[in-house]
Structure 1
Amino acid sequence: MQKSPSRTKFRNLPNLEFTRQRKFSRQTGSENGTPKTIVSAASLRSRLFIVWGVLMATGLGLSLNLYRLQIIEGSKLTQRARNQQMVNLRPFMPRRPVVDRNNNILAIDRPVYTLYAHPKLFDKSNEEMAQQLAPILNKDAGKLVKIFQSKRSGILLADGVAENIADHLISFRLNGFEFIQKYSRFYPQDDLVANVVGYVNLDRRGQAGVEYSQEKLLERSVQTVRLSRAGNGALMPDHAPQGFLHFDDLKLQLTIDNRLQRAARIALKEQVDKFQAKRGAVIVMDAMDGSLLALVSQPTYNANEYSKADIALFRNWTVADLYEPGSTFKPLNVAIALENGAIKPDDTFNDPGTIKVADRTIKNAERNGYRRINIAQILQTSSNVGMVQIIQRMRPTLYYNWLEKVGLGQKVDTDLPFEVGGRLKSQEEFLSSTIEPATTSFGQGFSLTPLQLVQMHGALANGGRLVTPHVVQGLIDSQGKIHYSPTLPRPRQIFSSTTAQKVVDMMETVVSQGTGKGSKINGYSIAGKTGTAQKASPNGGYIPGARITSFVGIVPAEAPRYVVLAIVDEPKGENAYGGTVAAPIVRAVMEVLIPLQKISPTK
């Protein structure tokens, strides 16, 4: 059956509509017939402005940050960068050596090693290693084996190993050992000059003696240098200042003479042991300039093993402890009285053996009965009664002023550390009773250090000048040229040379005829004075039975120059006096001093 054309047309209409819709979609840009927004020119301009604004803001921010980094914080950041690229280095500098007046080494820095063991690297058995090392390290082989078995690595085997021992061990070419080098202070004389030189602690700081008082002279001046560092942290030597690792060859030279120091030490120790004394000291001074040729105390300590010593021994008691000098002060009182015209050299005095002052009775140490004696005999016999009468001829105020003038109650200002000043009662207390000048006349009622007594006797030996005792000569180089000398106080004239020599002449009779015969040396004129003093108690009064014996000598008497003082504290025995205990020490020291200083025999 044939279809009609009109129905066919009708059926195609929907297809036509669909075709139109697709055409419309292509024109509007929609894929599925959904309308798409058409972008206008204004919208495009807005987007460009936003992008441009973001770029401009970013650029401005970068510019501001760059300004902050380069201008505001530029110097700070530059410094931080340099700090990262540079390293501060303070090279280790050994302390300067200490030498005596003859250039003998007293203290020096030497290389030592810390030895570590790493058993895991041993190429031999632990037993073989122990057998090889034990005799060199002075250790037990069995204990070394146990030490090697305790850890596989990093075992501290020995500290402070000397360079020669380390070289010996290194020569074995053994695997598994590590040597860390450092420097240690070494004192070749052990305990001979410990009370003068002192010692340094583990931090290499002086703790006693000149190691402490002369720290600035012993420490070499080292400046911190800045070195460039590579990216891997390695130092760049091209930027190191030229010669920054070089140091001077200066040494600190002392006035001490090792030979005399040893002689004094032997003589002192012998008497201290013989009389079972608590302690003793010897001081030798050149009265011309105050230089100390020897300064010994007993007991002492080994500076190389200071950690084993009694801490009380670190204080040099010749400058740090006070005592009443007793009769060794009498020559100074005679000089004071002569200088003021209170007495004349040929004056004589009645000595009945006792004298009453205020409510006290003063006696002589030895009872000789009634006699008439001159001033030289007062010193020869150490008469307390005669000394009281001499001082009674002076006005107490004038006498007190002279005690201050000679230095009582003051410090010596030596270059040895921890010095204390002497003690003298106040003028008011001194003048309040006549007993004070009387007891002072024979060396009691005040106190001083042994070094100060040497200084005062030095004024008798050098023509009346009070010099400063010292041990530092200065800094010298390897050729002996002096680069630095300490500035000492100018000597102070306290007595006339005439007065000083008259007193020395009187002291000579003490050795030739009096209590000082124990110091006599044939062919040489020696002046001296013995002292046997009661020992003052810290709580007041005196310690029963305790005494300090001493002797001070001057050589040669006809041309005085050297002062030698020996003190022995609390000697035991019936015959323990200045003339029997201390005088032989001075004689032994002078027997060495005379040839060393080429002192000619008396004509």
Structure 2
Amino acid sequence: MRDFNEQVKNRLMFYFAVVFFVFILLVLRLVWIQVINSAEYKHKALSQRVKEFVIDSERGMIYDNTGRKIAVSLPAKTVVALPDNIINPQKTASELDPLLDINYNTIYRRITSDAAAIFLQRKIEDELYQKIEAKNLKGITFTEESKRYYPEGELASHILGFTGIDNNGLNGLELSYNNQLSGKAGKMIVERDAEGKTIPNGIRETVPGRDGYNIYLTIDEVIQYMAEKELENAEEKFDFSGGSIIVMDSSNGDILAMANTPTFNPNEFGKYPDRNWRNRAINDVFEPGSTFKIITAASALEEGVITENDILTDPAHIYVAGEEINCWSRYGHGKQSFAEVIKNSCNPGFVEVGLKMNKETFYSYIKAFGFGEQTGIRLPAEARGIIPEYERIGLIELATFTFGHGLSVTPIQLAAAISAVANDGKLMRPRLVKKVDTGNSSENIINDPEVVRQVISKSTADKTKELLKQVVETGTGTQAAIEGYQIGGKTGTAKHYNEDIYDSSFIGIVEAAERDLVILTILYDIKGETYYGSQTAAPVFRNLTSNILNYLNVKPDTSKKNGYETNETELEVPNLIGKSFLKAESDLRDQGFNVKLIGDGELVRAQLPDPETLTNYNSTVWLFSNEQFKEELLLAVPDFRGMEAAAAVKLAKQKGLNVVLDGSGKVIGQSVYPGKRIKSSKKINLKLR
């Protein structure tokens, strides 16, 4: 009996020890939960009762320069499935299958998932919303979101870009200004009971969001429409892969229009091929062809190696480093002033002028005009253009650069560079966005016009503009002329290598009241017999410019003469040998000559043309501090054939060449082939009969 009692007592003690141990564990656990780690469990308890709702911000609107809305945000319905509430998923899926952009299997899989709620299709059209709502499907509901909408459809689509389903910008200004346009989402915190009902006196907190900022552009919706319409019209007349038009206010860099074709509707961008999304005015490069001659002319005039009255010759070709460079004219233009070279768009003439500048000088002007670098217009994927590295440029490359071959530029680079000529020589940064409106005038982001650099002087810019006017008046750009308006410009035609395909262009400077507009038209990859810029791009320019001037209420003025007036006065070149550079230059300028100084010496040791030569007023006299500098110059040989002896001798002296006459009458042969470049000391034998 005693052993039994002892055994019971031991069991009781054991059970008591176990219970006591468990009790200690529970106490320690309670201390851990209630004291040591109480904050964490309070947070978990609260999170079970508190529901956080995201409050979407509204994306900012985009306006043109007159305040017209061209990108807005509208409410849109999103189809939501509540799987727990769907009684017959097969029937529901079959009802939605023909209406939604997803198939039956995908719908069924989603509406039978474990999720409390799931999106089926976001931001649907109102018509589709009405159809689905009319079916009154159990477990199918809607939530409201914000949807980007472009009221004018395709208008300015390449500038605006588009947004994705989550309202983030994917292209164009929507992408590059996404941070400003998208705003910041807010949230609402609400405390609920176990049944999901809001607790009347529970936690309720709102964290406000911020709507996106509105953006004001430089684009004029009407001018943009006109530009796009002209490209559309051109598609009906010519066979080409696409086109670009840029209208730029040269005084401040404002882009009034930037149109491209092919185009797309940003409201339905997914229905178009990717190539339609490309903003070719920004993203693509092309050989500018003869439009680049404006850069060559402005650079040479600024550098003082040429004036509009200097005499040049074109025997239909010129030889550079053994290569023949031809003129578009089969027979050439013969003797002509530089003003006529510009008017006639003569390649050999521009080569001769370009080679008067050394490589370093011409290359520096190409870079100064902004080629080979981004303009900073702030659109996605802006190309830099293709300018060969300085070390890889030889005489041939330098020669072809003068007429726009061998390098590639973007349309926006070309428009900005020619705007510098129109704007007193000041290169402006192209501007698309004027202002980002933050809702607080003191914090608004203002994009003021920005001068990048002074490229050429005002006098050179003015002279270049005058010379370009004659191109439109009587030269290769007559198809761009508009009666009563002052227009200067240049055509361009660049052939693709190894293909009968061309890029044709025209760029014009148009006087419009108190400002000059620069308008560039490009048609890419033209096929067929009609491909010259004068035949294709120039008429597009004329039609567009006429409409723009009418819209801006710029009245024609027939009292002004359009074009450069030549001064046919001839002057005799004085003898400057032995004079100081300073004195010689002063005397020459006083007499009506342009002067180019070569060398670092103080005295004139050689000159070109030689003394007593009769040449044009304001033509260039070269002064050398060392005779070797003159000897190193290579001079283009004219075609003397058919000229009277006196005329041939006079032309040779004006060019700085030595000729020896054999016989009398007219020249019937010459010992150096026309277009060759030789030293001034080499004699040219002329056979006369």
Range class of TM-score, shorter chain:
0.7 to 0.9
Shift of 1:372: 2.1
Q: Give the 3 Å change call, closer, same or farther, for CA 101–563 of structure 1 in structure 2.
A: same
Structure 2 CA distance for aligned equivalents of residues 543 and 267 of structure 1: 30
Q: 1:80 aligns with which of 21, 34, 44?
A: 44
Pairing 1:403–2:358 present? no
Letter in 1 for 2:316: G
Structure 1 CA distance for aligned equivalents of residues 440 and 509 of structure 2: 34
Structure 2 CA distance for aligned equivalents of residues 571 and 326 of structure 1: 14
CA contact (8 A) 2:484 2:556 kept: yes
Can you list the C-alpha shifts for 1:402-431, whole angstroms capped at 9, x where unaligned? 22222222111221111111111111111x
Structure 1 CA distance for aligned equivalents of residues 453 and 335 of structure 2: 36
Q: Give the 3 Å change call, closer, same or farther, for CA 588–356 of structure 1 in structure 2.
A: same
Q: Give the 3 Å change call, closer, same or farther, for CA 307–248 of structure 1 in structure 2.
A: closer
Output the TM-score relative to the length of structure 2: 0.69
Q: Give the 3 Å change call, closer, same or farther, for CA 579–329 of structure 1 in structure 2.
A: same
Pairing 1:473–2:437 present? no
Structure 2 CA distance for aligned equivalents of residues 236 and 503 of structure 1: 79
CA contact (8 A) 1:533 1:548 kept: yes
Alignment length (residue pairs): 532
Letter in 2 for 1:94: E
Can you list the C-alpha shifts for 1:425-452, whole angstroms capped at 9, x where unaligned? 111111xx31111000000111111111
Give the match for residue 493 of structure 2.
532
CA RMSD of aligned residues (A): 4.0
| SS of residue paired to 2:56 | coil
Give the match for residue 635 of structure 2.
none
Structure 2 CA distance for aligned equivalents of residues 95 and 533 of structure 1: 43
Structure 2 CA distance for aligned equivalents of residues 233 and 585 of structure 1: 67
Can you list the C-alpha shifts for 1:248-298, whole angstroms capped at 9, x where unaligned? 484222221111111111112212320122211111111122221111111
With 355-364 and 207-216 compared, the bigger mean Cα shift is at: 207-216
CA contact (8 A) 1:473 1:485 kept: yes
Shift of 1:330: 0.5
Q: 1:193 aligns with which of 140, 151, 156?
A: 156
CA contact (8 A) 1:113 1:179 kept: no
Q: Give the 3 Å change call, closer, same or farther, for CA 370–448 of structure 1 in structure 2.
A: closer
Q: 1:429 aligns with which of 383, 392, 402?
A: 392
Give the match for residue 97 of structure 1.
61
Structure 2 CA distance for aligned equivalents of residues 104 and 558 of structure 1: 24
Q: Give the 3 Å change call, closer, same or farther, for CA 478–512 of structure 1 in structure 2.
A: farther
CA contact (8 A) 1:287 1:459 kept: yes
Pairing 1:551–2:493 present? no
Q: Identity over aligned residues, as a percent?
A: 29
Shift of 1:214: 1.6
Pairing 1:576–2:531 present? yes
Pairing 1:282–2:245 present? yes
- Listed as ranges, the matches of 1:319-338 within 5 Å are 319-338=282-301
Q: 2:146 aligns with which of 180, 183, 187?
A: 183
Q: Give the 3 Å change call, closer, same or farther, for CA 162–443 of structure 1 in structure 2.
A: same
Letter in 2 for 1:290: G
Shift of 1:157: 11
Shift of 1:595: 3.6
Letter in 2 for 1:484: I
Task: Mark the runs of 5 or more structure 2 residues left unpaired by the alignment.
Answer: 113-118, 561-689
With 403-412 and 384-393 compared, the bigger mean Cα shift is at: 403-412
CA contact (8 A) 1:463 1:497 kept: yes
Shift of 1:82: 3.1
Letter in 1 for 2:191: S
Give the match for residue 450 of structure 1.
411
Give the match for residue 10 of structure 1.
none
Output the TM-score relative to the length of structure 1: 0.78
CA contact (8 A) 2:292 2:404 kept: yes
Q: 2:312 aligns with which of 349, 358, 363?
A: 349
Higher strand share: 2
Shift of 1:481: 10
Letter in 2 for 1:92: D
| SS of residue paired to 1:283 | strand
With 419-428 and 439-448 compared, the bigger mean Cα shift is at: 419-428
Q: Give the 3 Å change call, closer, same or farther, for CA 574–241 of structure 1 in structure 2.
A: same
Letter in 1 for 2:169: G
Shift of 1:510: 0.9
**RCO higher in 1 or 2 (8 Å CA, sep ≥ 6)?**
1
| SS of residue paired to 1:578 | coil
Structure 2 CA distance for aligned equivalents of residues 416 and 162 of structure 1: 30
Q: Give the 3 Å change call, closer, same or farther, for CA 37–162 of structure 1 in structure 2.
A: closer
Pairing 1:364–2:319 present? no
| SS of residue paired to 2:405 | coil
Letter in 1 for 2:44: R
Shift of 1:478: 8.9
Letter in 2 for 1:267: E
Letter in 1 for 2:64: D
Can you list the C-alpha shifts for 1:161-218, whole angstroms capped at 9, x where unaligned? 5447857997xx8855866244332222111221111122334332221122221122
Letter in 1 for 2:291: T
CA contact (8 A) 1:554 1:560 kept: no
Can you list the C-alpha shifts for 1:516-539, whole angstroms capped at 9, x where unaligned? 11121122101111111112xxxx
| SS of residue paired to 1:556 | strand
Higher helix share: 1
Shift of 1:567: 0.4
Structure 2 CA distance for aligned equivalents of residues 291 and 360 of structure 1: 42
Pairing 1:113–2:77 present? yes
- Listed as ranges, the matches of 1:488-567 within 5 Å are 490-535=451-496, 542-556=497-511, 561-567=516-522
Q: 1:417 aligns with which of 376, 380, 400?
A: 380
CA contact (8 A) 1:530 1:552 kept: yes
Shift of 1:112: 3.0
Give the match for residue 548 of structure 2.
593
Structure 2 CA distance for aligned equivalents of residues 490 and 224 of structure 1: 44
Letter in 1 for 2:506: F
CA contact (8 A) 2:65 2:219 kept: yes
CA contact (8 A) 1:325 1:447 kept: yes
Can you list the C-alpha shifts for 1:447-486, whole angstroms capped at 9, x where unaligned? 1111110110111111112222232222337999993234
Shift of 1:328: 0.3
Give the match for residue 346 of structure 2.
383
Shift of 1:348: 2.5
Shift of 1:559: 6.0
Can you list the C-alpha shifts for 1:115-140, whole angstroms capped at 9, x where unaligned? 7999x99xxxx9xxx9xxxxxx999x
| SS of residue paired to 2:535 | helix
Structure 2 CA distance for aligned equivalents of residues 105 and 117 of structure 1: 35
Shift of 1:220: 1.3
CA contact (8 A) 1:324 1:443 kept: yes
Q: 1:295 aligns with which of 244, 258, 283?
A: 258
Letter in 1 for 2:476: T
Can you list the C-alpha shifts for 1:533-565, whole angstroms capped at 9, x where unaligned? 112xxxxxx133111110001110896521100
Can you list the C-alpha shifts for 1:8-65, whole angstroms capped at 9, x where unaligned? xxxxxxxxxxxxxxxxxxxxxxxxxxx889999xx99x99999998897677545533
Structure 2 CA distance for aligned equivalents of residues 268 and 368 of structure 1: 35
Structure 2 CA distance for aligned equivalents of residues 358 and 48 of structure 1: 117
With 235-244 and 217-226 compared, the bigger mean Cα shift is at: 235-244
Structure 2 CA distance for aligned equivalents of residues 557 and 483 of structure 1: 30
Can you list the C-alpha shifts for 1:296-330, whole angstroms capped at 9, x where unaligned? 11111122222221111112111111111010010
Letter in 2 for 1:96: G
Q: Give the 3 Å change call, closer, same or farther, for CA 454–49 of structure 1 in structure 2.
A: same
CA contact (8 A) 1:315 1:418 kept: no
